Amino acid sequence: MHAPDIDLSAHASKLRVLNEIRRRGRVARVDIARATALSRPTVTALTAELIEDGLVVETGGEPDAAPSQRGRPPVLLGLNPDAHYVFGVKIAPHRVAVSIANFVGEVIASHAITVRAGHRSAREVAGLVAAGIEETARISGLPVARAAGVGIGLPGFIDNETGICRWSPVFAEADVDFRAMMEGLVGGPVEIDNDANMVALAEKWFGLGREASDFVVVTMEHGVGMGLVIDDKLHRGAMRFGSEFGHTKIRPDGALCRCGQRGCVEAYVADYALVRDASVFMATGDISDPIEVQRAVDELVAAARAGDEIALALYRRAGEMLGRGV
C-alpha cells in the first residue's frame, strides 16, 4: 500500500508558527508573519489549523496594542495550556522528583521521593520512577494514560537519540536502554536526556533563553552539567555527548572523579567533592551515601553563610576551579 504523501514544507511552516507563538507568549498574526517571513494568508491558514487542532487559542487584544486598520486592537494568539500535559522526572542520587506540566510549561503538580539511587540497578531505579509517577498522578487526579508523554532527566552520558544511558552515577551498570525500560512500565512514550540538557531546553522554550540564540547553562549539584544552545539548537556533538562539561579535565592527574578518571571539573566542584574536602574538619558521614552527602552539604552551606572561614575557603576554591573550566 502506498503511504500518503506528507507536505513536509507545510509541516515545517506550521511548526515555525507554533514555535513563534510559544516564544512570544501572546502574539498577533501580523507579528508572526513578520517574524517568520511567511505571508499573512499563509499565517492565517496555519493558525486556523492550530486552533482547530486545539493547540492554540485566541486570547483577545491587549488594551495598549497598536490598532489594526479597522481601529481595533489585533487579536492575539497563545498556546492552549490545556492542550496537553506531560510528566517530568528528575533523577538524582538522593531523590526522584516528579512534576506534571501543562502545554505552556506551568507546573500543576509535583511530588518527590527521598531515595538512595546511587549505583543501584537500572530496574530498581526504573521502579522508583514509575512509583513516583503513579503517586503524582494520584495526587493530581491526572491519569498517566492521558499524558502526552514522560520526560526523564538524569546525570551522565545519555544518548537521547537511542534512549540508551551509556553511564550514570545513579546506575550500577552501563549501556542501559532506559527509555525502553520506562516505556514498558508507563505504557506510553518516554524521552530521556541528560538533566542539564533538559534545563537548557526549558530555558530556551519557556525561560530566559527565549530571546537568545546562543547561551550556556551550567548546573552544579551532585554532579556538574552543561547545556549548550547554539543557533537556537541544543548542541549535542558528533557522539551526542558534546556538552559534558563536568568531565572536562582541568588538572592532569588531579582529584579522583566519580566517573573513574582524574582532574575533572566535577571532582572539585560537585557536592560530593566539597563534602570530601570538608571531611577533614567536620563530620560528613558516609560520602558514598547520597543522602548523607546532601545533609553534609546543607551544613556546609549554613557554615559558609555564617561566615565560617574554612567553609568559605572551600567554596572560593570550588568557584576558582569552576571559573577555570568555564
**Predicted confidence (pLDDT) at residue 292 exceeds the cutoff of 90:** no
Please report which residue ranges of 112-157 form alpha helices under DSSP H: 122-140
* Residue pair 94/106 in contact by the 8 Å Cβ criterion: no
Give me the mean pLDDT over the 143-162 stretch: 94
Provide the percentage of residues in the chain whose pLDDT is more than 90: 72
3 pLDDT band, cuts 50/70/90, is very low
290 pLDDT band, cuts 50/70/90, is confident
Which of 115, 93, 104 is closest to 56 using CA atoms?
104
User: Between β-strands 76-79 and 56-60, what pairing exists: parallel, antiparallel or unpaired?
Assistant: antiparallel
Give me the mean pLDDT over the 293-300 stretch: 90
Residue 36 confidence (pLDDT): 94
**Predicted confidence (pLDDT) at residue 218 exceeds the cutoff of 60:** yes
288 pLDDT band, cuts 50/70/90, is confident
Give me the mean pLDDT over the 96-115 stretch: 94
Give the mean pLDDT of the chain: 90
Q: What is the pLDDT of residues 239-263, one digit of tens each?
A: 888 778 898 999 988 999 988 899 9
166 by Cβ neighbours in 10 Å (0-12 / 13-18 / 19+) ranks as middle
Residue located via cell numbers 551544613: 299
61 phi/psi in degrees, rounded to 5: -95, 155
72: helix, coil or strand?
coil
5 pLDDT band, cuts 50/70/90, is very low
Question: Which value, in Å, is the radius of gyration of the alpha carbons in the chain?
Answer: 23
The letter for the amino acid at 65 is A
**Predicted confidence (pLDDT) at residue 219 exceeds the cutoff of 60:** yes
41 pLDDT band, cuts 50/70/90, is very high
Which of 35, 38, 21 is closest to 75 using CA atoms?
21
Q: What is the pLDDT of residues 7-27, one digit of tens each?
A: 668 899 999 999 999 999 999
Could you give the CA distance from residue 259 to residue 189 in angstroms, rounded to a whole number? 30
Give me the mean pLDDT over the 287-303 stretch: 88
72 pLDDT band, cuts 50/70/90, is low
Residue located via cell numbers 483577545: 60
Give me the mean pLDDT over the 77-100 stretch: 95
Residue 69 confidence (pLDDT): 53
- Alpha carbon separation from 137 to 68, 90, 302 (Å, rounded): 45, 16, 35
Provide the percentage of residues in the chain whose pLDDT is more than 70: 94
112 pLDDT band, cuts 50/70/90, is very high
